[in-house]
Amino acid sequence: MVTFNVRSKNKSIKLLICFILTLGFVIFSKYVEAHKDMEFGFGNMKLQAVSFLGILQAVNGLLCIVMVCLDYKIGRILAYIFTLGSIFFMFMGIVRSGEMSSLPGIYNSIISLVSVVIISSGLSKADRRAVTDYLTGLRNRRGFVTLLENSIKEKKCFHVIYFEIDNFRTINDNLGHKYGDIALKTVADKLREVENEDNVYVSRIGGAEFAAVVFGGVDAENFAAKVIEKMSTSITNVDEDFDIRFSLSIYSGISTYPDDSTNSDDLLKYADIAVFNARHENMKKRICFFNNEMKERFFRQIEIERIVKESLTRDYFYLVYQPQYEIKEKKLRGFETLIRLKQPDGSMISPAEFIPVVEKTELINRIDNYVIKRALKEAKAMVEAKNKEIIISVNVSAKNISSPGFVEEVTNVLNESGFPPECLEIEITEYSFAEDREITIDNVTRLRKLGIQIALDDFGTGYTSLSQVMHLPISLLKIDKSLIDDIENNQVNREFVDAIIYMGHLMNCEVISEGVESDEQLGLLKDHECDFIQGFVWGKPLEYDVAVDLCNK
């Protein structure tokens, strides 16, 4: 904002200088015109004053153009005054004297006037284009921010309402960018329908994001709800021989001036944060007002991302190993690798805090790759100590298992480490099949062909139907801890766990229960013929050296 003020002040000073110079040249021109017979001497040369009139008029025309270039709004008005004034006075001089000597000056002034009109018109159009979105014709982000800043200067109370098309990427990827553009134009048209010249202004901020500013007595929440309702209808493309219909999923976030901030950038950012909250925590209503709790959470997420990036670079992460046991004889099956983050000052950041943050970014792939590389490097000694009779289990995110190059990455790590693939188990969640089902199934199938075990984590809590699971090349089902927690007292939970175990065996899968913490839970799982367990009842996550010692016993 300081830079803006300085630039505005400098521009005003330059404009004032041009105005003074132009005025001076006009006055000097009138003086020369009144004394046109006066002679100036330059050595042996003698020139009449009238000879300078053309030069002075050309300089005046140039100064008028400079004023227009500095500020086409004010400069254009000043240039019109000077050029039209010059034309008027020269014409009156011709009328009074009957002499046509001023006619070339009139022509010069007319040319200057036409130049001013053309240049100012071009600058005006360029200015409009600079604040207009080329696709939708709405204001763009720059135009919207200018509107907010002007409103803030006038101390008007208003709400900033952010709209985001949640399924826009799906439309682009599945139908093509043509239909993505149709979707954006449709949103723009529907926003125009609810725009009010006095109280509501709409803009396209960029990508699949739109915004509105509402003033006065307009109810921001009702306005957002009205927009979302308008967008809920399906869109049909009528330009093709066949109809293509698709619906838009819109979420909205709202920030308020001056309650949330007095800065335009912050108001936009806070409305965007509120959209994120609406998408993940207020999905039914799809509308969310910004509050300070969101702000604190947002900045904490930014801090977590920074810490994770630094930790990957400086190797602040390390692994712990939670033992898994065969339930009948308490024989060690293997270990699940769990990532931990310890900062240089000794403080710990829980995976429950940093994993949900990085899952929304590409950082989750880097963490997955880190865990796989480190686990295979460290666990090779454990596998050799047990003569390849244990399994090392590694968690992989839905984003990673659905990536086209994931199998090649795992293959490279296996080759580099010399780790036996039959001792590696990759854990995925049911949500993995909601990301990109075809690629995920293909990756899982290829991993199984390499001899790698596949565990379906958190089974019974997710997205996959039984018919889908039965056709997946899964070797192990993991019963989620939430189903085990109250198994001692809840008959429904016991029967549900029993059904999962039965289904797993029917699918030729082994079954492991995680989060087993009491002897009573252990006994019930043994009665239900669960194959393996992991949990505090038989072993907490172990440091690497302790895990190696356990394998050597």
Residue 422 has pLDDT above 50, yes or no: yes
- Residue 43 falls in which region: left (phi positive, over 0), alpha (psi -120 to 50) or beta: left
- H or E segment to which residue 357 belongs: helix 351-358
CA distance 232 to 269: 25
How far apart CA 531 and CA 374 sit, in angstroms, is 28
Q: What is the structure's pLDDT at 311?
A: 93
Query: What average pLDDT does the segment 38-49 reach?
Result: 52
Q: What is the pLDDT of residue 392?
A: 96
**Alpha-carbon distances, residue 387 vs 328, 383, 390, 391, 424 (angstroms):** 21, 6, 8, 11, 14
CB 208, CB 184: distance < 8 Å: yes
- What kind of fold does domain 301-552 have according to CATH? TIM Barrel (3.20.20)
pLDDT > 70: percent of the chain: 72
What is the token pair recorded at 216?
A: 């006065």
Model pLDDT for residues 289-339, shown as the tens digit of each residue: 898 888 888 888 889 999 999 999 999 999 999 999 999 999 999 999 999
Q: Per mean pLDDT, which of 105-109, 114-118, 356-360 is the most reliable?
A: 356-360
| pLDDT tops 80 at residue 29 | no
How far is it, in rounded angstroms, from Cα 65 to Cα 58? 11
| The pLDDT value given to residue 5 | 45
Cβ neighbours for 116, distance < 8 A, ≥ 6 positions apart: 64, 65, 68, 76, 79, 80, 83
Show Cβ contacts of residue 239 under 8 Å, excluding neighbours closer than 6 positions: none
- The residue ranges of every structural domain in the chain are 2-130, 141-290, 301-552
What number is the average pLDDT over the span 358-367? 88
- How much is the pLDDT for 283? 61
Q: Please determine, for residue 547, whether its predicted confidence score (pLDDT) is greater than 80.
A: yes
Q: Pick the residue with more confidence: 392 or 437?
A: 392
Tell me if residue 478 falls in helix, strand or coil: strand
**Three-class SS of residue 325?**
strand
Q: How far apart are CA 52 and CA 31, in angstroms?
A: 11
pLDDT band at 455 (very low <50, low <70, confident <90, very high): very high
What tokens were used for 180?
């993505």
Q: CB of 484 within 8 A of CB of 513? A: yes
pLDDT at 247 over 80: no
Evaluate whether 141-290 and 301-552 have a shared fold.
no
Tell the residue number behind the tokens 């300078």, with chain if given: 52
Q: What is the pLDDT of residue 310?
A: 93
Residue type at 436 in one-letter notation: D
Greatest mean pLDDT among 103-117, 160-174, 468-482 lies in: 468-482
pLDDT at residue 339, rounded to an integer = 95
Assign 236 a pLDDT band (cuts: 50, 70, 90).
low
**161-208 per-position pLDDT tens digit:** 988 887 676 666 666 677 777 778 878 887 877 776 557 888 888 888
Q: 């995976």: which residue's tokens?
A: 351
**Region of 140 on the Ramachandran plot (φ > 0 left; ψ -120 to 50 alpha; else beta):** beta
338-360 tens-digit pLDDT: 999 999 998 999 999 999 888 87
Shortest CA distance to 277 belongs to which of 301, 252, 255?
252
Residue 350 has which token pair?
A: 């829980």
Note the pLDDT tens digit of each residue in 507-524: 889 999 999 999 999 999
Q: Which CATH class is domain 141-290?
A: alpha beta
